[in-house]
Structure 1
Amino acid sequence: MSDSLPIAFVVPLQGPTGIYGPSCLACGELAAEQLNAVDGILGKHVELVVVDGGREPEVVAAEVGALVDSGRVKAVAGWHISAVRQAITRRIGGKVVYAYAAMHEGRDDTPGVFMLGERPINQLLPAAHWMREQLGVGRWAVVGNDYVFPRVTGATARLALADGPSTVVSETYVPLGTTNFSRVLTDLELCRTSNEVDGVIMLLMGQDAVHFNRQFARQGLSDRLARLSPAVEENTLLGGGAGAHENLYAAAAYFDGLDTAESSELARAYYARYGRWAPALNAVGESCYEAILFLARLGKTTGSMAVADVGAMASGTFYDGPRGLVRLDGNLLDQDVYLASANGLAFEIQEQIARAT
């Protein structure tokens, strides 16, 4: 290959979302190795320049901006919270292609930004409908971190469910990094006792979700209130311990053990590369793998990595990956989404709740 294509790979290595970091790094590295074993991206060797996305958003954005301005990187990819994404787009929007891997609250029309994760319309909302139909859970208390993704997603759920048989009864948002949920749990206990709620929509990230689930179980709420989350994954289950997840459900486009040909292919390659004690293979890590391969697909389709040229990747384009068949819808992805129940430290798929159309 003639030279390299350096990519700013923004993933959390500290803070509440640092729990996802090892999975992100392993999956990103695997994607780069697989591409480099063939012809990289645009004939160039893929180089991941790791940026710690677990710091304050403006700090992360400043580092990414300096890398872009100096020409050190030619694209940006990775999993990080929406507050970090917004800071990055304010700093470098329109300068380079940005493959944002995480589930998100909705469209971001910044030139060059592609939003590859799940969003409420194909993740949280169909999951809530399933839980109403199958479990009779329909009166929800939202508990989330206090930043853009949880707040917008909570508001979306409140508005979308208002005219149906389900409803959002309350919304509570706590700072990212909260470790003590005693007041929140007391309020939930009172609401359950008065028969006001029968489920909790958890919009808590990483270690915050671990603390919440442990305390939720210790307070004896697990058998009385169902929990539903678009963010809980295998690392969260490991952190919480086997006894913290009774009546807990998660919605995502990928789970370790998802029984499809595409997901099985990734799992075989992942565990062959990293072995039995690999970081958890989960939706967060897989989304990073997806983002790096998306950049390769973008380059192959458009023959370029320039923001001005990526419009050649037409809306409506279908392609397949570990999540199965996905479809580009503007700068968003439509994808299959599944609902799973936690069983100790693993997930059991219950049903496919959304399809790429």
Structure 2
Amino acid sequence: MPNRLATRNRDDTWRVAMVVPLQGPAGLFGPSCEAITDLAVHELNESGGILGRQVEAEIVDGGASPDQVAADLRVLVEDGRADAVSGWHISSVRHALAPVVADRVPYVYTSLYEGGERRAGIFCSGETPRCQIEPALRWLRDQLGMRRWFVVGDDYVWPRRSAKAVHHYARELGLRITGEAFVGLGSGDMSTVVRSIESSTCDGVLMLLVGQDAVRFNRSFAAHGLSDRLIRFSPLMEENMLLASGAHATGNLYVSAAYFRSMVTADAMDLLGRYVERHGAGAPALNNAAESCYEGLHTLAELVRRAGTPDLPALNAAIDGVAYHGPRGTIEFRGQQADQHVHLAVADGYDFEVLTRL
């Protein structure tokens, strides 16, 4: 799909800057995010666009440094070439973008994140630790007896704040955190972390690692022979990461998310069918990160339709109670945060077997 906006009268077009990673640890999500954005834009326009305006999307590389992403987006916003912002990217990027969009354009942040976003004009459609991590830890405790956890994460805001929440959940659930380690995003030494896990008393590892960092961890974990005796749980693991890790490195790996490609609900299967029909069987793997971009565009569409205008003050006033039905099922906003069902799955080769709804 083209990554430049057509020069068209502003009244005819509603332009969305889709901030998705094209490089860095999360860069392996990028092609899938671009492909699903193309499908979502096509479907919105087939149904009449947004308030009669055709939707166009421009891809902004969210895998660059947060300052660079913010600078790139500022050009679009100040030139009047972005009427809204959405996409999957890490929380450090969200914090850099917040001042750029403040009081200017709506921003639907689609990634799972640490929760707690309160700034006006930022609407969060992704999962949070309370709905994604806490019930998974409860299930793993009750069904598999998992009570001692080692936490490993990238060293930035989402893993740090999520780990803080995990300590709170551990007290609630009678669990024990036996160790904790954080590595540099995109540059951490996984073998050192794995050796720390190997010598700990944990019976499970909670992974708060992004993209290629999780891939490198999985490989090192398996190379040390740990995948047969220790369970891993992650709220961020998708099909591209399974493929890159290799089937030998994903045994006993559990994942919670609001969407898996392998879900057998009618809505999820319909999305996969439309995605393959548009992009072919060789399309980039549909996954949670990419599907979140689909959710982001539909959140914008429903929000604008409910408000009856794309003006930001009206959108801020209208967000509470916005609801729609899609591949994840029914999504309803409670304030600025989407409320949604989350599922637990286990890795099965290069796909996921969905076990239960949490």
What TM-score do the two structures reach when normalised by structure 1?
Answer: 0.95
Find the aligned partners of 1:29 and 1:179 in 2 and give their Cα distance. 34
**Deviation, structure 1 residue 312:** 4.1
The counterpart of 1:112, out of the listed 103, 118, 121, is: 121
Find the aligned partners of 2:351 and 2:319 in 1 and give their Cα distance. 38
What residue identity is the alignment partner of 1:37?
A: E
Q: What's the counterpart of residue 179 of structure 2?
A: 170
The counterpart of 2:216, out of the listed 211, 235, 238, is: 211
Residue 199, structure 1, aligned to residue 204, structure 2: yes
Structure 1 window deviating more from structure 2 (298-307 vs 119-128): it is: 298-307
Q: Secondary structure at 2:26's aligned position in 1?
A: helix
Q: After the TM superposition, which residues 1-357 of structure 1 pair with which residues of structure 2 at under 5 Å, given as runs? A: 3-178=12-187, 180-191=189-200, 196-353=201-358
Q: Secondary structure at 2:354's aligned position in 1?
A: strand
Find the aligned partners of 2:102 and 2:284 in 1 and give their Cα distance. 32
Structure 1, residues 178-220: CA drift from partner, whole Å, max 9, x if none? 36311111111101xxxx2100000000000111101111110
Aligned residues: 349
Structure 1, residues 54-109: CA drift from partner, whole Å, max 9, x if none? 00001101111221112111100000000000100033222110010000101211
RMSD: 1.3
Structure 1, residues 251-273: CA drift from partner, whole Å, max 9, x if none? 00000020111111111111111
Q: Secondary structure at 1:71's aligned position in 2?
A: coil
Structure 1, residues 156-187: CA drift from partner, whole Å, max 9, x if none? 00122124321222221101113631111111
* Contact 2:19 2:85 (8 Å CA) reproduced: yes
* Contact 2:40 2:297 (8 Å CA) reproduced: yes
What residue identity is the alignment partner of 1:51?
A: V
Structure 1 unaligned spans of 5+:
none
Find the aligned partners of 1:258 and 1:284 in 2 and give their Cα distance. 15
What residue identity is the alignment partner of 2:232?
A: R
Find the aligned partners of 2:172 and 2:270 in 1 and give their Cα distance. 42
* Contact 1:142 1:168 (8 Å CA) reproduced: yes
What residue identity is the alignment partner of 2:255?
A: A
* Contact 1:180 1:211 (8 Å CA) reproduced: no
Find the aligned partners of 2:144 and 2:17 in 1 and give their Cα distance. 43
**Deviation, structure 1 residue 314:** 4.7
Find the aligned partners of 1:250 and 1:160 in 2 and give their Cα distance. 17
Q: Residues 179 and 160 of structure 1: is their aligned pair in 2 closer, same or farther, counting only changes over 3 Å? A: closer
What residue identity is the alignment partner of 2:214?
A: A
Find the aligned partners of 1:190 and 1:169 in 2 and give their Cα distance. 11
Structure 1, residues 30-70: CA drift from partner, whole Å, max 9, x if none? 00011111211121111111100000001101111221112
What residue identity is the alignment partner of 1:282?
A: N
* Contact 1:79 1:102 (8 Å CA) reproduced: yes
Find the aligned partners of 1:97 and 1:91 in 2 and give their Cα distance. 11
* Identity %, equivalent residues: 46
Find the aligned partners of 2:323 and 2:53 in 1 and give their Cα distance. 25
Q: Secondary structure at 1:39's aligned position in 2?
A: coil
Find the aligned partners of 1:85 and 1:300 in 2 and give their Cα distance. 25
Find the aligned partners of 1:77 and 1:108 in 2 and give their Cα distance. 15
**Deviation, structure 1 residue 316:** 3.1
Find the aligned partners of 1:94 and 1:166 in 2 and give their Cα distance. 43
* Contact 2:214 2:241 (8 Å CA) reproduced: yes
Q: Secondary structure at 1:152's aligned position in 2?
A: helix
* Contact 1:162 1:168 (8 Å CA) reproduced: no
Q: Secondary structure at 1:16's aligned position in 2?
A: coil
**Deviation, structure 1 residue 339:** 0.3
* Contact 2:228 2:252 (8 Å CA) reproduced: yes
* Contact 1:94 1:110 (8 Å CA) reproduced: no
Find the aligned partners of 1:91 and 1:269 in 2 and give their Cα distance. 34
Find the aligned partners of 2:254 and 2:275 in 1 and give their Cα distance. 25
Find the aligned partners of 1:166 and 1:262 in 2 and give their Cα distance. 36
